Structure 1
Amino acid sequence: MNKSILKLALPNIISNITVPLLGLIDLALMGHLGSEVYIGAISLGSVIFNIIYWGFGFLRMSTSGFTAQAFGEKKPTEAITILVRALLLTIIISVFILLLQSPIAWASFKVIGGSPEVEKLAEAYFRIRVWAAPAALSLFVFSGWFLGMQNARYPMIIAIVVNVVNILLSAFFVFGLDMKSDGVALGTAISQYVGLVTAVILLLKKYRGMLPNVTKAGIIDLKFMSSFFKVNSDIFIRTFCIIVVFTFFTSKSASINDTVLAVNSILLQFLMFFSFFIDGFAFAGEALVGKFIGAKQIENLKKVVKLLLYWGLGLAITFTLIYWTGTNFILKLLTSQKDVIQTAQKFLVWVVLIPIASVGSFIWDGIYIGATASRAMRNSLLVSTFLIFAPVYYFLNPVWNNHALWMGMLLFMFSRGVILSLMYRRTILKPLTKNVE
């Protein structure tokens, strides 16, 4: 079983690690331009796309879970039909995003805020990068589908292509053409379409023979569509809660001053960096849990859940030690701004606590996505957001200020793991046992 986990987890880790590295490089490019406003612009611009892309993250998650279950049930026609359905939905969503880009930008900056100079640069970043929305959302679907088919190598290839192209183009636009945050946006947009072309080529290379099995009647299967949209709506609410927390975090950071905004943007990269490592095992959980549920193999399901938690804990301990000993060194790689480095020193303790506090939320998310147990995921996020994060911040803010933001964030992550752990037997094991009987 460990071999199966690693076979899926390691390619996902390799592909995922390119994402935080890209974020780190983007910040590093801006961090050496001589002004902290460029870091703030990237941060605020990225928050808007977090709102958009995280909000539609259900495209990847539901595609992965349903496809893995179809794979476990040995239904290839259903599996390829799931891909086509999701891509059609992606086209519709992308058209709306492009048509509504002006009100999206206006509303986002009204909610997030920031200094006039930062907002001006962030809007230019948004106006360029938004045209990559069709490609970015389609890549969600392709990555989820390949993973559901127990193929972690193709998402790895796509992610590496996208991020290598992105890094090279962003560096060229910033240093070669003397562009600023708009150069990073343009590099990101172009790389998304390069990734989409790569995904289509890989699909045709291995799965071309499945495409003729897709029928119009299969695409509009009302029973499946009802289940598909129910799961997607639950995951959307779940993801919306995450967006609320991270948007609130960035907005409150910006309301303090540009230096704190820059500091928190950089320190959040430590959470993101850990998340993309641990998500390698979470993604393995999506594929294997979905497969075992589809095949109704209860003992294998129990075993893989236990092993995933062990792997997650080991990785969390490793990252805690890395952050404990190396945070200052990493911080100086990200920025040369002395005031940013000096202010960040006050908040490094939270960075060290990130891995242990958040590991459960990531691993359990993968397990629940594979099981398409979306209602439990939704409820856990509602509780963690509105009964944990918000009360903690507002109670501590008068005394702790930015420390209150970090305390709320870590308790938000920790409580998600605890809640999903408590719901596991009743939500996943019990229904599966009844179906087998």
Structure 2
Amino acid sequence: MLVMKKNYLNDLRNGKTLTLSQQISLTLHLSLPSILAQLTSVVMQYIDASMVGHLGSNASASIGLVTSTTWLLGGLILAIVAGFTVQVSQSIGAKKESEARNILKHGFFIILAAGIIFALIGTIISPSLPIWLGGNSDICPKASSYFFIYVFSIPLIFITQYAGGMLQATGNMKGPSSVNILMCFMDVIFNWIFIFILKLDVIGAALGTVLAEFVGAIILLYLLLFRSTMLHFQKKEKFSFNKKILMRALKIGAPVAFEQIITGSAYVTLTRIVAPLGSIAVAAHSFAITAESFCYMPGYGIEAASMTIVGQTIGAKRKELAKRLGWLCIVLAMIIMAGSGIFLYFGSPIMMKLLTSDITIQKLGVKVLRLEAFAEPMYAASIVASGVFRGAGDTLIPSIMNFVSMWAVRITLAYFLAPIYGLYGIWLAMFIELNFRGIIFLIRMISSRWLNKSL
């Protein structure tokens, strides 16, 4: 059933009717490579975290302290990339491939400039960041070194995300997914060399990631510029500056950037709430997030597919089909993440043992993970609905919804519950917020107002 994915995408763009089984086939064919890549990424993160975890709780806490900040930067990268990939997806859906290639060129200039700016700012703040986050003197120096190396590689991360996102916008999910899997394996190999053979400790973990990103960026650029049937470089096709492309990118990307800033800053604030609880709590929090990612990464895989499907369907002027395919993606994600939530509940003791040998950290991690397992279906709904809205060009209202959910619900509850229940109180706040977020995203999905936001 899955071998006809390309024909189904062509049928979609050409206005042909797709049966329910064909819609399911298309959704699965675009989702499965991304899900596999995300799951492989999580497995590699487990191995990475386990490597660092066996260096001691301080080493784990030093990386965990700055993780929320790296997420914030990663979210801003996603926002800038989304401003151009959504346009490309809709242009391809409208069968305007020359226009799509022109959008691609505009984006390259922006991401290179942004990557350099981000790297410079990150380098400047790296010595002070762990102190701002409330880290103690035992972990701040290592955390600072780790973050410095990470931000130095941000231009590479920009290129990797941009090239991968553009390939996905064309419907090519296998290429970026395969490269992502390769990068994960390389990351583990490089980490093993730098951490254990060269004895570089936390710095080795950062260097391993940078080298893996470098290799991935080179491969993805090759696939995009020379192998992509729709976006490959054409010598006769000159660059034509179009102010409207940049304004559309701003219209799409600015709300996503706002969403990522408020979400990322919420994670940073949450880290500050966790930090005073001590190194054990910080390490358990970091490991539990890594463990939980096994559950929600399938959702992000389907989200990537939903952006491509809805973007091309909207570009083809088939709004009702876009709505049906959007719901199909959401239901699929909720079913998969409900199952992974069950696995998380019963498998959390084994997962924590793989990440750390510290019994105290293990017990605390299991306690919070078993609570979070019950939030996974609604978390899936919010993740994939966000991708559906983004594919349609609807980014402003969802970003406001995320702001309200993160700050009014999660951070407020965590602030009051942490002094009473410790780390469990913080994760209880997360549990409540994820369910709330899923509900409000489903309400917007039902309203269909997002269908009228296309470019």
Question: Quick one: structure 1 residues 166 and 143, their matched pair in 2 at CA, closer, same or farther if it must change by over 3 Å?
Answer: same
Q: 2:221 & 2:442 partners in 1: Cα distance?
A: 37
Higher helix fraction: Structure 1 or Structure 2?
Answer: 1
Aligned partner of 2:407 among 386, 397, 401: 386
Please report how far the alpha carbon of residue 47 of structure 1 lies from its aligned counterpart in structure 2 after TM superposition: 2.9
Once residues 266 and 378 of structure 2 are traced to their aligned partners in structure 1, the CA distance between those partners, rounded to angstroms, is 16
Show the counterpart of 2:51: 29
* Kept in 2: contact 1:358–1:410 (CA 8 A): no
What displacement does 1:375 show? 0.8
Task: Decide whether aligned partners of structure 1 residues 355 and 58 sit closer, same or farther in structure 2, where only a CA change above 3 A counts.
Answer: same
Q: 1:209 to 1:399 in 2, by over 3 A?
A: closer
Tell me which residue corresponds to 2:30.
8
- Runs of 5+ unmatched residues, structure 1: none
Closer/same/farther in 2, CA of residues 233 and 261 from structure 1, 3 Å limit:
same
1:216 to 212, 234, 239: 239
Q: Check conservation: 2:46, 2:291, Cα contact below 8 A.
A: no
Alignment match, 2:430:
409
Contact 1:124 1:182 in 2 (8 A): yes
Identity of aligned residues (%): 21
Contact 1:65/1:286 (<8 A) preserved: yes
Matched, 1:184 2:205: yes
Contact 1:63 1:148 in 2 (8 A): no
Query: Matches of residues 160-199 of structure 1 in structure 2 within 5 Å?
Result: 160-199=181-220
CA distance in 2, matches of 1:237, 1:346: 33
The structure showing larger relative contact order (alpha-carbon pairs under 8 Å, at least 6 residues apart) is 1
Query: What are the ranges of 5 or more consecutive residues in structure 2 without an aligned counterpart?
Result: 1-22
Distance 1:84-1:107 versus aligned 2 partners, 3 A rule = farther
Q: What CA distance in whole angstroms lies between the structure 2 residues aligned with 1:5 and 1:135? A: 30
Q: Is the CA contact (8 Å cut-off) linking 1:59 and 1:137 kept in structure 2?
A: no
Q: 1:209 to 1:338 in 2, by over 3 A?
A: closer
| Aligned counterparts, 1:34-433, within 5 A | 35-203=56-224, 204-207=226-229, 209-212=232-235, 214-217=237-240, 220-424=241-445, 425-430=447-452
**Contact 2:378 2:437 (C-alpha < 8 Å) held by counterparts:** no
Residue 88 (structure 1) shift: 1.1
Contact 1:59 1:140 in 2 (8 A): no
SS for the counterpart of 2:43 is helix
CA, structure 1 residues 198+394, in 2 after alignment: closer, same or farther (shift >3 Å)?
A: same
Cα distance in 2 for residues equivalent to 1:94 and 1:277: 28
Is 1:94–1:137's contact at 8 Å kept on the other side of the alignment?
Answer: yes
Cα distance in structure 2, aligned partners of 1:223 and 1:144? 21
With 97-106 and 191-200 compared, the bigger mean Cα shift is at 97-106
- CA distance in 2 between partners of 1:289 and 1:183 (Å): 41
Kept after mapping to 2: 8 A contact 1:286/1:370: yes
Q: In the superposition, relative to structure 1, how do residues 398 and 337 fare at CA in structure 2: closer, same or farther (>3 Å)?
A: closer
Q: Secondary structure at the match of 1:211?
A: coil
The residue identity in structure 2 corresponding to 1:51 is L
Deviation at 1:382, TM superposition (A): 1.7
- Aligned pair count reads 430
**By how many angstroms is 1:210 displaced?**
4.7
| TM-score normalised over the length of structure 1 | 0.93
**Deviation at residue 416 of structure 1 after TM alignment:** 2.5
Q: Which has the larger displacement, 261-270 or 398-407? A: 398-407
Secondary structure of the residue that 1:136 maps to in structure 2? helix
1:275 and 1:348 map into 2 onto residues whose CA distance is 13
Aligned to 2:18: none
When residues 297 and 242 of structure 1 are mapped into structure 2, their CA distance, relative to the original with a 3 A threshold, is same
Deviations 1:332-351 (A, max 9, x none): 11111122123334423323
Partners in 2 of 1:232 and 1:312 — Cα distance?
A: 25
* TM-align CA RMSD: 2.0
- Please state whether the residue corresponding to 2:126 is helix, strand or coil: helix
Residues 280 and 126 of structure 1, relative CA distance in 2, 3 Å threshold: same
Contact (CA 8 Å) 1:60, 1:143: kept in 2 or not?
no
Q: Is the 8 A contact 1:384 1:415 kept in 2?
A: yes
Structure-1 residue corresponding to 2:40: 18
Aligned 8 A contact 1:77 1:210 in 2: no
